[in-house]
Structure 1
Amino acid sequence: MQKRRKISLIIIYSPIVFVIVSMFFVSFLLQRSVDIGYLLLITIVLCFFVYLVAKKIYDSIDKYARDLDKKRKQLKEKNKLLKQMLYKDLLTKLPNKKALFEDIEKMKTPKIILFDIDSFGDINEYYGSEVGDFILLHVRDFLLQFAKKFDATVYRVGADEFALLEDESLDIEKYEELLEELVFELKAKEIEIPSLNQSIQIHVTIGASLEGSKTFAKAYIALDHAKQTQKDFAFYMQSLDTKEAYAKQVKWSNLIKEAIAKDEIIPYFQPIFDADGKLVKYECLARIVSEDKAISPIMFMETSKNVRQYAKIAKVLIEKSFSKISKTDKQISINLLARDMSDSDVSNYIVDKIKEYGVAKQVVLEILEDENIEKLERVKSFLDRVRRMGVKIAIDDFGTGYSNFSYLLKLRPDYIKIDGSLIKHIDTDDNSIAIVSAILAFSKKLDIKTIAEYVHSKEVYEKCKELGIDEFQGFYLGEPTSSLVDISSL
């Protein structure tokens, strides 16, 4: 604004300065016996002309400045909304898992109760997402009322999971009473579904932790124990951590080692399309295929990290997927943890395989955020190295945490993949639209292409296209398969 005032003063007073200079010029000409009336007329005309030009320039600058101020305010509002919504669940409007973790850090003795709606995936699949959402909102309303009894906050922390968090010094007996009351209220609860003209019965399983450190993880262990032992609820105890979790980890560790030894780690490929419906690339996804049954990575990837088998799986996927695309002109994207990029063994292996198969221009590396992302210099060094070879870079699951905004400028990706939680209900949810619109606004300014994940219906696909997203991926467009399906377009 101060600059604009200075420009205004310069433009307004410039004719006056011109008049003064002109008067000196007239005085000079008078000494040369030039007609004074003629000189005054010329001076007035010139002054008026200069004034008109100056006013035109000022009006143009003023309009540009006002437009710029307006755009800045709009961008500021979008960023503000984006920050707010990153801490809210889009469907229930409850604070999300990120908000829960930050609130835990502020508490002295945080206590958590976790709720899981049993077989919710089956309900969602059989009755559809609208009915599933109705049930989630019904459970939310019940928990909000119940939470008032002991001044707790309700969070949605997963697709079918809620949490209650509080910081009071209630003892285990009091919590046991609360959980028994919860179970009584929710066990075999009938929820009337107006759209179906019938009721659906739900069951819940509950896990709780009253310990201050690693409260959420311990509540999750208790929840898992309650499910495995078919109990309504369970409290965290150290014995659960050492027995149940260890047994589960051993089981999956053996399965992973056996799969690697038997060459059962198989890359699956899900197609990605552009706005014109043209196939542009595939995402490479891991599966364990045993006896013609494909096991999802959700079941084994976390364990593979804990038992130091993740790098071996990554190497198998890289070898097999690079070998496949080297025989085609297809492009693939492949997920990498920051730990892969900061591990010299894995990072050198990736570079060697890119050179061996000559696929640099066919590869997009998708960065998954983990604890090693903080080692930005090592990660960035690796990315700069492969970028010089022709490899493209993407940030995966963008929008799920505010931290990945800070990595955006530092890592300079070619793509950002907008997280599925923002895309899932974008055809009906105004908050999703607002957040995605803000992401699109700054990604376009930074010349970064956007990819929508979880495109599961025609309505979602059309809305994503309308908003201006560049590329699309999801079960509506194509499911993952073990071969590079030759689809030129939708």
Structure 2
Amino acid sequence: MLSIQRSIMLTLSLLVALFILGMWLMSSLNLGFAQGAMSELRQRQITDTFYANLGRINAHHHQMEQNTEDLARLGELYHRLYPSPGRFSAVQLRLSLKQTLADFPDAYGSAILYAPGAIGQTAFGMRAYRDASEIRTESAGTDFHTRDWYKTIVRDLSEDGSLVRSYHWTSAYYKNDTGNAVISLSTLMHSDDGQPLGIAVTDWGTDEVVGLVSRVNVTPGTFSFLLDKENRNLSSLALAENVQLAQRLIESITSGKLQTLLPEKGPDSTRRQSASAMQQLKLTVDEEDYALFFSYTQAGMVFGIGVPQKEIDAVLTPMRDSNLRIVALIGSVLLLLSALILYMVGSTLRQLRTLYTDPLTGLPNRERLLVDLSTTRAASLILLNIDDFKELNDFYGHQCGDHVIKLLAQALQRYLKLQPNGASRRLYRMPADELAIWIPGEHSDAHLQAKLDKLMTFVGELRIDWEGQNISLHVSMGLASTRLPDGNQLPAELLLPSANIALKQARLTQNSYLIYDPVHRARENYEYNLIWANKLRTALDEKRIVPFFQPIIDVHTGRILKFECLARMIDEAGEPISPAQFLPVAKKIRLYRYITRCMVEQCFARFADNHYEFSLNLSCEDLLDPQLCAEIISRLQNSGMGDRVIFEILESEGIENYESVRLFIDKVKALGCRIAIDDFGTGYSNFEHLLRLNVDLIKIDGSLIRQLDTDPNAVTLTRGIVRFASELGMQTVAEFVHSPTIYDHVKTLGIDYAQGACIGMPAAALVTEINLR
């Protein structure tokens, strides 16, 4: 049982652990899926933000190109209007440049530079630039076409070869006349026949570009940057409060040479680049991770944003925290419920174990034996009962009795283990002072008898010490086997009742042991008693226990003066059943007192409206029932019929507790009742009853009366009883007066009353008139 309990608890614990593990895995998978979805959403948000800002920068670059293109068209227009130097108006060009720059609020400066031969033989150029709130102009000189930067720009633009206007972007550089870092944007001017005339240049302040880049907003720690062709960084970090950290970030970005990580194809100036053009890179600065997203602008620069990884993950933190709280809460509830379930199952298993285990000896009990017998095929069962165990408990106390049973159980366990195949035998603790031994397999009667002899010898040699007293044991045993002595099979579920029958028969016959044998018909007797017990209970419930009345004649007057009330059971067909069939069973199952109650109630009701005396039989068990005695006395007091009631005490019952019986007798006699001794003339205590119970009538037993006409000894004994009663002032009643001859002898002997077949048999009605002849 203990191993099964441990297995069940282990299995439940594993199931709980697997359930919790499964819940954790599902939670992790759900969290992973949610985090993946949220990360994808976050990535899409960053991508959309990146392209939105890239588009804004490209739009700004496009505006710069458009402005530069407008400036180039202005220079081309002046060439067409003034094809010769003599007609060219520098003043007009100066005014046009100032107006154009005024129209370009984001530009810092603008210039139109004509190559030699475009307007005259020498080069000519005019520049306009902002000086605080004013726009100033100045000549660009005549040697600009000899400068390397000019040659580089013209060469790059001329090599493009496309019909679409192209532009040249410079890196950021410091320009003295504006006092700012600028980026210059140049494009070629062409004559009507397509010949290059020179270049138009616009200057854009880097602080404007930085401001443009700085408007990127993804997270609080996000920064943006723009790398020109010389890998110089125009970044929102220039506005950062932590200058040192910003400098380290700028250095890390520029040292990363992001241009080498981008596709080599040129930027698309007509449309925004596809999402695949954006690249991603992990950057670590001061042990903090940043995610870089970058791509080309249409001006060939590298635009990018940097987002702290912790801020990207921050959107997942509430989800993780929430999931953690949910998992912790559910896990705690599950753990508590699991602990409660395990505790309840453990308690139930402990209760089941207690249900099947005797607490004193630790042996399996009767319930366990019944369960085991239900799965048994071939086996024998020995019931062992300790003789005189009640006396042992009464003399030494119940602690001694428990001590004896415990040591006997331990000794029997050791004994069984030493027997051949002892490991397969089982010892059980039965109720009270009984033990049971289960022996598997089929065995012959001789083999079983030898086992019983050895077991009897072993128990007889045991000596148990209790507080210095040496207690020897004597036992009775009953054995039942599935293999009966006649060779038939006994069902295993009948082993226990059969062994119990054998034990009872052994005690009744004063044998040390007995093997159950159907030939003894003990089971049939038990079945008979069980059938009649059920009939009796049903009859009591259905009020089919009724009194029959046998008349008692006054021998001196010949008149019917009394009736003896006798119990009868009425069967389902309405026929009366003799008490000899049900009264013995009633005494065994303790229903006799209920029959007495039923008789008292009905008889008092029957004689309430007449003048006849009536007698009721009371057993010793009735007299020792305080509740029944109290009910009888109460009925006597309420009815006022005490002077007509006779209580017949059954002498054959063997009265022992005279004090209790005499107490009842004194109470009812005080109410006018009389006391009779029934069946006088049998047993050993007749005269003791007469002397101690204050008897009024003696009912002479029928075993003497029925022989008055044939046995002189019976006549002598009866005459002595009548004389003895007369001297003590008691009246006599003759029972079983079955013939007129016997009646004459009764009359001759001086007996006061008579009853029997000659007078009248018991009947449901009161027979008050008779004819003796």
**Equivalent residues in 2 for 1:304-323, closer than 5 Å:** 304-323=586-605
The answer to whether structure 1 residue 284 and structure 2 residue 546 are counterparts is no
The answer to whether structure 1 residue 386 and structure 2 residue 661 are counterparts is no
Counterpart position of 1:480: 762
- Paired residues of 2:593 and 2:621 also in contact (CA < 8 A): no
Counterpart position of 2:646: 364
One-letter code of the match for 2:579? P
One-letter code of the match for 1:215? T
Kindly state the Cα deviation for residue 369 of structure 1 after the two structures are TM-superposed. Answer: 3.1
Counterpart position of 1:214: 508
For residues 344-374 of structure 1, the C-alpha deviation after alignment (integer angstroms, 9 at most, x for no partner) is: 0111111122223221111000001355610
- Paired residues of 1:277 and 1:489 also in contact (CA < 8 A): no
- Paired residues of 2:760 and 2:770 also in contact (CA < 8 A): no
- Paired residues of 1:279 and 1:489 also in contact (CA < 8 A): no
The answer to whether structure 1 residue 329 and structure 2 residue 611 are counterparts is yes
- Paired residues of 1:368 and 1:396 also in contact (CA < 8 A): yes
Counterpart position of 2:554: 274
SS of 1:481 mapped into structure 2: coil
Compared with structure 1, are the counterparts of its residues 468 and 345 closer, same or farther at alpha carbon in structure 2 (3 Å cutoff)? same
One-letter code of the match for 2:542? K
One-letter code of the match for 1:356? N
**Equivalent residues in 2 for 1:86-485, closer than 5 Å:** 214-215=508-509, 240=520, 243-275=523-555, 276-290=557-571, 291-369=573-651, 373-485=655-767
For residues 398-440 of structure 1, the C-alpha deviation after alignment (integer angstroms, 9 at most, x for no partner) is: 0011212211111121100000000001022101001001111
One-letter code of the match for 1:450? T
One-letter code of the match for 1:373? I
Compared with structure 1, are the counterparts of its residues 449 and 489 closer, same or farther at alpha carbon in structure 2 (3 Å cutoff)? farther
Q: What is the CA–CA distance in structure 2 between the aligned matches of 1:350 and 1:460, rounded to whole Å?
A: 36
For residues 175-232 of structure 1, the C-alpha deviation after alignment (integer angstroms, 9 at most, x for no partner) is: xxxxxxxxxxxxxxxxxxxxxxxxxxxxxxxxxxxx885339x9xxx9xxxxxxxxxx
One-letter code of the match for 1:389? L
- Paired residues of 2:551 and 2:768 also in contact (CA < 8 A): no
- Paired residues of 2:722 and 2:750 also in contact (CA < 8 A): yes
- Paired residues of 1:337 and 1:370 also in contact (CA < 8 A): no
Q: What is the CA–CA distance in structure 1 between the aligned matches of 2:703 and 2:770, rounded to whole Å?
A: 28
- Paired residues of 2:675 and 2:697 also in contact (CA < 8 A): yes
Q: What is the CA–CA distance in structure 2 between the aligned matches of 1:406 and 1:236, rounded to whole Å?
A: 42
TM-score computed with the length of structure 1 as normaliser: 0.51
Kindly state the Cα deviation for residue 280 of structure 1 after the two structures are TM-superposed. Answer: 1.5
Query: What percentage of aligned pairs have identical amino acids?
Result: 39
One-letter code of the match for 2:567? A
SS of 1:373 mapped into structure 2: coil
- Paired residues of 1:416 and 1:448 also in contact (CA < 8 A): yes
SS of 2:699 mapped into structure 1: strand
Compared with structure 1, are the counterparts of its residues 237 and 445 closer, same or farther at alpha carbon in structure 2 (3 Å cutoff)? farther
One-letter code of the match for 1:254? N
Compared with structure 1, are the counterparts of its residues 398 and 236 closer, same or farther at alpha carbon in structure 2 (3 Å cutoff)? farther
One-letter code of the match for 1:363? V
Q: What is the CA–CA distance in structure 1 between the aligned matches of 2:506 and 2:538, rounded to whole Å?
A: 38
Compared with structure 1, are the counterparts of its residues 238 and 347 closer, same or farther at alpha carbon in structure 2 (3 Å cutoff)? farther
- Paired residues of 2:652 and 2:682 also in contact (CA < 8 A): no
One-letter code of the match for 1:257? R
- Paired residues of 2:565 and 2:603 also in contact (CA < 8 A): yes
Kindly state the Cα deviation for residue 246 of structure 1 after the two structures are TM-superposed. Answer: 2.0
Counterpart position of 2:181: none
Q: What is the CA–CA distance in structure 2 between the aligned matches of 1:489 and 1:236, rounded to whole Å?
A: 56
Q: What is the CA–CA distance in structure 1 between the aligned matches of 2:535 and 2:735, rounded to whole Å?
A: 29
Q: What is the CA–CA distance in structure 2 between the aligned matches of 1:489 and 1:270, rounded to whole Å?
A: 15
One-letter code of the match for 1:456? H
- Paired residues of 1:451 and 1:470 also in contact (CA < 8 A): yes
Counterpart position of 2:464: none
Kindly state the Cα deviation for residue 265 of structure 1 after the two structures are TM-superposed. Answer: 0.5
SS of 1:476 mapped into structure 2: coil
Q: What is the CA–CA distance in structure 2 between the aligned matches of 1:212 and 1:426, rounded to whole Å?
A: 41
Gaps of 5+ in 2: 1-504
Which entry has the higher C-alpha Rg, 1 or 2?
2
- Paired residues of 2:652 and 2:679 also in contact (CA < 8 A): no
SS of 1:486 mapped into structure 2: coil
Compared with structure 1, are the counterparts of its residues 371 and 296 closer, same or farther at alpha carbon in structure 2 (3 Å cutoff)? closer
Compared with structure 1, are the counterparts of its residues 212 and 260 closer, same or farther at alpha carbon in structure 2 (3 Å cutoff)? closer
Compared with structure 1, are the counterparts of its residues 236 and 371 closer, same or farther at alpha carbon in structure 2 (3 Å cutoff)? farther
- Paired residues of 2:737 and 2:756 also in contact (CA < 8 A): yes
- Paired residues of 1:271 and 1:479 also in contact (CA < 8 A): yes
Q: What is the CA–CA distance in structure 1 between the aligned matches of 2:770 and 2:759, rounded to whole Å?
A: 12
SS of 2:659 mapped into structure 1: helix
One-letter code of the match for 1:320? Q
Q: What is the CA–CA distance in structure 2 between the aligned matches of 1:343 and 1:372, rounded to whole Å?
A: 16
Q: What is the CA–CA distance in structure 2 between the aligned matches of 1:333 and 1:448, rounded to whole Å?
A: 16
One-letter code of the match for 1:284? C
SS of 2:723 mapped into structure 1: helix
SS of 1:300 mapped into structure 2: helix
- Paired residues of 1:449 and 1:470 also in contact (CA < 8 A): yes
Compared with structure 1, are the counterparts of its residues 273 and 215 closer, same or farther at alpha carbon in structure 2 (3 Å cutoff)? same
TM-score computed with the length of structure 2 as normaliser: 0.33
Compared with structure 1, are the counterparts of its residues 237 and 391 closer, same or farther at alpha carbon in structure 2 (3 Å cutoff)? farther
For residues 21-45 of structure 1, the C-alpha deviation after alignment (integer angstroms, 9 at most, x for no partner) is: xxxxxxxxxxxxxxxxxxxxxxxxx
One-letter code of the match for 2:596? A
One-letter code of the match for 1:251? I
Kindly state the Cα deviation for residue 483 of structure 1 after the two structures are TM-superposed. Answer: 1.6
For residues 281-339 of structure 1, the C-alpha deviation after alignment (integer angstroms, 9 at most, x for no partner) is: 00000000122210000000010011111111110111001101011111101100011
Compared with structure 1, are the counterparts of its residues 488 and 422 closer, same or farther at alpha carbon in structure 2 (3 Å cutoff)? closer
- Paired residues of 2:760 and 2:767 also in contact (CA < 8 A): no
Compared with structure 1, are the counterparts of its residues 468 and 370 closer, same or farther at alpha carbon in structure 2 (3 Å cutoff)? closer
Q: What is the CA–CA distance in structure 2 between the aligned matches of 1:213 and 1:310, rounded to whole Å?
A: 25
One-letter code of the match for 2:538? E
For residues 245-283 of structure 1, the C-alpha deviation after alignment (integer angstroms, 9 at most, x for no partner) is: 321111011000110111101100000011221111000
Kindly state the Cα deviation for residue 236 of structure 1 after the two structures are TM-superposed. Answer: 8.8
